[in-house]
């Protein structure tokens, strides 16, 4: 059993120590993931700090973060392991003159030094504490999802030439999803589920205060309120938490202690990235 955290309150406190503000759900589920040794499926819109959570857990527990970024077409060779063909081929060619028996060559080229370890295998073999982040799992095809399922349920993998490799410890595993497609029931069943949404004004204000040194409460509150206002507009891409933080930092650099329409007008591009979104927000907040 994992014993990285003592209690739910301990989770909140230690995440806070690494500048991550967890709400009740986040803290409870993180604690549970550690105790039950089950992977967590973290779902929610882009930019609410899903990936950040994995980093924070790693930092709080002094673990190494191993990240598998998913994309369409991700396969076993890129997720788990792959034999280094080039090196193997060189090895065989180098051997031609010596007429070594095939058996000895074979056992040689299928050994550790010809193995390319990919993130999943790396996490399984890790001796030190590890947090495994499988990012944007909704992007992979069903077949790869099945592979993930298999690896995550037993935390072992068999490589025909080397035998079965069993994990020495159970890392905390986080899978994130932007919900571009429905994940399989089987995967959901095996995971704990955590939905993260944009924070309310109170929490976002706290986040800003923690992450932007030198900001006073007044300004942080204004920042959070303006961002909430912007999020209610019909935008292509609503501002993420990290964009809120960037914006607050920009305001500090520019030496603004108060937000006026002019200030918003000149810094809006930090918060929004599409020209049409910027134009819309400008029309609503600055010109009215």
Partner 1 sequence: MTGPVRSTAAGTPHVTMLDVLQGFVHELRSAGLPVSMTENLDAMTAMEHVDLRAREVVRSVLAATLVKQQRHRPAFDTVFDVYFSLFSPAAEDRATLDLPDELFGTAGGDIQGGGAGGDLTREELAEMLLRALQSMDLDELRRLAGMAVSQFAGMEPGRPVGGTYYLYRTLRQLDLDDLSARLVEQARARGEIPDDPLPGRLAREEQEARLRELRRLVEEEIRRRLVADRGVEAMARTLRKPLPEDIDFMHASRDEMLALQRAIQPLTRLLAARLAQRRRRRHRGSLDFRRTVRASMNYGGVPVEPKFRRPHPAKPEIMVVADISGSVASFARFTLQFVHAMASQFSRVRSFVFIDGIDEVTRFFEDTDDISEAVHRVNTEADVVWVDGHSDYGHAFSVFHERHEREVTQKTSVIFLGDARNNYHASQNWVLQSLQKRARHVYWLNPEPRGYWDTGDSIISEYGRYCDGVFECRNLRQLERFVSTIADA
Comparison of 165 and 270: residue with beta carbon closer to partner 1: 270
Comparison of 128 and 269: residue with beta carbon closer to partner 1: 269
Q: Which helix (H) or strand (E) holds 181?
A: none
Smallest distance, Å, CB 165 to partner 1? Answer: 26
Smallest distance, Å, CB 127 to partner 1? Answer: 26
Smallest distance, Å, CB 195 to partner 1? Answer: 4
Residues near 67 by beta carbon (within 8 Å), at least 6 away in sequence: 54, 119, 132, 133, 135
Is 182 in contact with 49 (CB distance < 8 Å)?
no
Comparison of 173 and 191: residue with beta carbon closer to partner 1: 191
Exposed/middle/buried for residue 112 (C-beta within 10 Å: 0-12, 13-18, 19+):
exposed
Kindly list the residues in this chain that would bind partner 1 in the complex (CB under 8 A).
7-8, 24-25, 27-29, 31-32, 35-36, 38, 40-41, 43, 72, 85-86, 89, 93, 141, 180-181, 188-195, 200-201, 222, 225-226, 228-229, 232, 234, 259-261, 264, 276, 280, 285-286, 288
Smallest distance, Å, CB 123 to partner 1? Answer: 22
Residues near 62 by beta carbon (within 8 Å), at least 6 away in sequence: 129
How are beta strands 156-159 and 163-166 bridged, if at all?
Answer: antiparallel
Comparison of 16 and 280: residue with beta carbon closer to partner 1: 280
- How far is residue 170's CA from residue 129's CA, in Å, rounded to a whole number? 8
């Amino acid at each position: 059993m994992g014993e990285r955290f003592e209690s739910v309150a301990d989770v909140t406190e230690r995440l806070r120590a690494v500048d991550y503000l967890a709400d009740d759900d986040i803290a409870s589920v993180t604690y549970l993931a550690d105790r039950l040794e089950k992977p967590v499926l973290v779902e929610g819109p882009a930019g609410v700090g899903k990936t950040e959570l994995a980093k924070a857990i790693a930092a709080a527990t002094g673990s190494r973060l191993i990240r598998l970024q998913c994309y369409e077409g991700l396969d076993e060779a890129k997720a788990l392991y792959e034999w280094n063909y080039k090196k193997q081929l060189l090895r065989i060619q180098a051997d031609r003159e010596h007429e070594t028996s095939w058996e000895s060559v074979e056992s040689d080229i299928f050994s550790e030094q010809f193995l390319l370890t990919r993130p999943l295998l790396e996490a399984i073999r890790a001796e030190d504490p590890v947090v495994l982040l499988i990012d944007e799992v909704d992007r992979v095809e069903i077949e790869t999802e099945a592979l993930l399922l298999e690896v995550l349920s037993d935390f072992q993998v068999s490589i025909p030439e080397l035998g079965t490799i069993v994990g020495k410890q159970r890392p905390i595993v986080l899978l994130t999803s932007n919900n571009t497609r429905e994940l399989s029931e089987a995967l959901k069943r095996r995971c704990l589920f955590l939905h993260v949404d944009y924070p309310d004004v109170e929490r976002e204000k706290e986040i800003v205060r923690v992450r932007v040194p030198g900001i006073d409460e007044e300004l942080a509150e204004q920042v959070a309120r303006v961002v909430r206002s912007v999020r209610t507009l019909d935008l292509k891409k609503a501002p993420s938490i990290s964009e809120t933080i960037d914006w607050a930092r920009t305001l500090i650099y520019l030496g603004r202690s108060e937000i006026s329409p002019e200030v918003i007008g000149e810094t809006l591009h930090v918060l929004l990235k599409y020209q049409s979104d910027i134009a819309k927000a400008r029309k609503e907040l600055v010109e009215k």
